[in-house]
Amino acid sequence: MLNTARNPWIVQPRPNPRAPLRLFCFPYAGGGASVFRKWPEYLPSSVEVYAIQLPGREGRLVEEPFKSLSQLIEVLGPVLLSSLDRPFVFFGHSLGASVGFELARWLRRHYQMMPAILFVAGRRAPHLLETDPPIHDLPDKEFLEELRTLKGTPPEVLTNPELMQLIRPMLSADFAMSHNYEYVPEPPLECPIIAFGGLEDKDVTKDYLDGWREHTSASFTLRMLPGDHFFLHTSQPTMLHMLAKDLLPVMGALV
């Protein structure tokens, strides 16, 4: 993956500086910018993918990961400002959905800016309390078992003790950031929210996703796709086809 933005927070899988619309993508807990490396293959050439690379993973492995979502937003917001010089949309999966949501609210508070659309996937609406017990501070053996259950970490990583020791701080920090997130009420966002979920996701059900409608004063759409929590991988072509169609009105307004 290329990072031609000269900003360690942004990775551009396929740089396209003439594209009139930017899609900022925020990964799930434990994920990095590589999650979105193939997305440009499925999207119109008028959309440029900006995959967000958080500290502590992939090309930023040696950096200290964030453990607080509010602290992350206070740093991430300013470093992305220079890239918001044209129309943009946000997409976030799981923890990334909370990042996109809170970043949109931060931009509204400080700069009266707003994404054209907020896409959220695999995440309960922010006002719905987390009911699962925390896993970020479990002993290594139990932590490893939880990762196997979640199915978000490749088996070859789980069976590599040296690699697990290397990425454990990042994984623990991400899960702590997700579990300790505290929603603070604000007026609904003025942009449309489009939510995606997995039909076999037992933790983030349709009812939990439907709660996102409370956080927009514009339109709300909910789409359920085949797959579990990581349907964005197993149903990737279908989801991106839908996402591309959702972007058509935004791109049409730019002509």
Helix (H, G, I), strand (E, B) or coil at 81: helix
If pLDDT is split at 50, 70 and 90, which confidence band does 169 have?
A: confident
Question: Which of residues 84 and 154 earns the better pLDDT score?
Answer: 84
Annotated catalytic residue 94: yes
Tokens in use for 213? 């409608």
Beta bridge partners of 194: 119, 221
The residues, any chain, with a CB within 8 Å of residue 146's CB and separated by 6 or more, are 135, 138
> In this structure, how many other beta carbons lie within 10 angstroms of the beta carbon of residue 40?
21
For residue 25, what pLDDT is reported? 98
What pLDDT, in 10s, does the model give residues 201-252? 988 999 999 999 999 999 999 999 999 999 999 999 999 999 999 999 888 7
Whether the pLDDT of residue 163 is over 90: the answer is: no
- pTM beyond 0.85: yes
Could you give the CA distance from residue 68 to residue 80 in angstroms, rounded to a whole number?
Answer: 18
Q: What pLDDT, in 10s, does the model give residues 79-133?
A: 999 999 999 999 999 999 999 999 999 999 999 999 999 999 999 999 997 767 6
d(CA 83, CA 73): 15
Q: Which domains does the chain have, with CATH numbers?
A: 10-129+181-254 (3.40.50.1820)
Q: What is the pLDDT of residue 145?
A: 73
Cα(191)–Cα(135) distance, integer angstroms: 34
Nearest to 12 by CA among 20, 23, 1, 21: 1
Q: Say which residue the tokens 């039909």 belong to.
A: 199
Q: Which of 46, 70, 83, 94 is catalytic?
A: 94
Helix, strand, coil percentages for the chain (3-state, nearest 5): 45, 15, 40
pLDDT tens digits, residue range 45-70? 999 999 999 999 999 999 999 999 99
pLDDT score recorded for residue 168? 84
Q: How far is CA 63 from CA 18, 52, 54, 56, 158, in A?
A: 32, 15, 9, 5, 22
Are 254 and 89 in contact by the 8 Å Cβ rule? The answer is no
d(CA 49, CA 140): 35
